[in-house]
């Protein structure tokens, strides 16, 4: 029994789950009280064992993919993403699907999205005027959602485009705030709860859209987008993906590809404008591109890259990644039995003072002065299951940040500290980062 071997809270499991959802600092409080590792109960009689050391990450991430399953740890996400989602399947099935999908996020395929990101940003900020107020979180969500709709479906305008925007925002919004508990515990996924009934209604709307899109695309193939790439996938027998598998992969891409990037960009704008030296250094690096927005050169700028990395250090895409052990393992000298849910806490690792001196400070310079290993800096997880969209996310962040900073001088509406607010599995900045457009710098 994990509870007898390792320390952890003694409160009821539902209170521990609620605490994890409502308090961004809950795991840190547990770490300070119990040391590493500690467990938290997120399901009845189901402890989750938390580690935050790079050595633990290395041992878990380098284990054979058939020895550490991710799907069962994230089982509560199945209603949101679908049982065939890349995030929820394991073993050879996951490896095969990942190999199929990887080309859409590498090399020329990814760089072809550069102009899409730039043009979408321009379209969304062309109405900004001097002395006007903008809520950055909302603006970034519009940009990132439009980018992913064009990248996945080739949609950038029209009735279908607008329908997708509205339905997807409503779909993920069901789990805002305290309602995120429905994504952390299967015990609450029951129709006796009004939130779950609302969610089930939204599922029908999402299915109608995506299955309709599948039928439409079968009649009109050969488009240049991720959906088209998925339609060309064939197994050894020449069979394509089933409609259910297509639906689940498309929905996963749409949800994972916009909300997370939007929140990262909102945090970046907030931190940059709270640190005059960071803002000045970044604008100085960008200045040579004010007359010629060279996307590929901008994407290679070292300080811009460091700003994005530091943002995702403090605000990783997800706070934790987990694996269900399929066999006993030794992790940091601890003998862990099979069928244990092991969690690598990204948020705790990224705030380790031995790795990141003064970890609560926003300091991009640390990424200029040091290169961190893939077991020390893990904003997108690691190993065979590291997020496919890592390069796409960094690419989009850099282009959007650079384009806006080259065209506008912004100021935070208030210097009041911002706190993280739960939205589904991610944390957004409270208030959405309202800003004032002080000056338009270029057309």
Binding residues for heme: 387
**Please, what's the largest Cα pairwise distance for the chain?**
64
Tokens of 82: 């679908």
Tell me the C-alpha distance between 391 and 379, whole Å.
12
Q: Both tokens of residue 34?
A: 């119990």
- Residue bearing tokens 């970046």: 268
- The answer to whether 109 and 101 are in contact (CB under 8 A) is no
Cα–Cα distance, 216 to 211 (Å, whole number) = 9
CA–CA distance, 226 with 86 (Å, rounded to integer):
15
What's the chain's Rg over C-alpha atoms?
Answer: 22
Contacts of 297 (CB under 8 A, 6+ apart): 289
User: HSE on the CB side for 220, CA within 13 Å?
Assistant: 9
Sign of CA dihedral 144, 146, 147, 151: positive
């Amino acid at each position: 029994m994990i509870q007898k071997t390792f320390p952890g809270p003694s409160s009821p499991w539902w209170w521990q789950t609620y605490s994890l959802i409502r308090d961004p600092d809950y795991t840190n409080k547990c770490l300070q009280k119990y040391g590493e590792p500690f467990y938290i109960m997120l399901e009845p009689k189901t402890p989750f064992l938390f580690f935050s050391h790079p050595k633990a990450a290395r041992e878990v991430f380098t284990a054979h993919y058939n020895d550490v399953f991710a799907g069962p740890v994230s089982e509560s996400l199945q209603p949101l993403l679908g049982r065939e989602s890349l995030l929820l399947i394991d073993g050879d099935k996951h490896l095969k699907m990942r190999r199929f999908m990887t080309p859409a996020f590498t090399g020329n395929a990814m760089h072809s999205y550069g102009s899409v990101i730039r043009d979408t940003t321009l379209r969304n900020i062309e109405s900004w005027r001097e002395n006007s107020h903008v809520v950055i979180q909302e603006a970034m969500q519009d940009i990132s959602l439009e980018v992913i709709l064009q990248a996945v479906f080739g949609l950038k305008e029209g009735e279908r485009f607008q329908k997708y925007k509205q339905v997807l925002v409503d779909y993920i919004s069901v789990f805002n705030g305290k309602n995120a508990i429905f994504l952390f515990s299967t015990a609450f996924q029951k129709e006796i709860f009004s939130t779950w009934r609302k969610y089930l209604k939204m599922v029908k709307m999402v299915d109608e859209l995506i299955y309709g899109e599948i039928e439409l695309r079968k009649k009109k193939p050969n488009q240049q987008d991720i959906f088209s790439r998925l339609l060309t996938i064939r197994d050894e027998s020449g069979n394509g993906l089933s409609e259910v598998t297509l639906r689940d992969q498309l929905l996963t891409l749409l949800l994972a590809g916009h909300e997370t990037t939007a929140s990262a960009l909102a945090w970046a704008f907030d931190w940059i404008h709270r640190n005059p030296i960071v803002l000045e250094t970044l604008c100085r690096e960008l200045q040579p591109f004010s007359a010629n927005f060279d996307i590929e050169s901008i994407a290679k700028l070292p300080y811009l890259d460091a700003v994005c990395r530091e943002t995702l250090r403090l605000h990783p895409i997800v706070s934790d990644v987990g694996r269900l052990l399929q066999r006993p393992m030794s992790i940091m000298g601890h003998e862990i039995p099979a069928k244990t849910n092991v969690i690598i806490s990204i948020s705790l690792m990224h705030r380790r003072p031995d790795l990141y001196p003064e970890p609560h400070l926003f300091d991009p310079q640390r990424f200029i002065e040091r290169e961190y290993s893939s077991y020390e800096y893990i904003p997108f997880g690691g190993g065979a299951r590291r997020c496919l969209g890592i390069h796409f996310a960094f690419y989009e962040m850099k282009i959007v940040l650079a384009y806006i900073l080259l065209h506008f001088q912004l100021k935070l509406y208030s210097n009041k500290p911002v706190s993280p607010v739960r939205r589904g599995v991610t944390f957004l900045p409270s208030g959405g980062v309202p800003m004032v457009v002080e000056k338009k710098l270029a057309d």
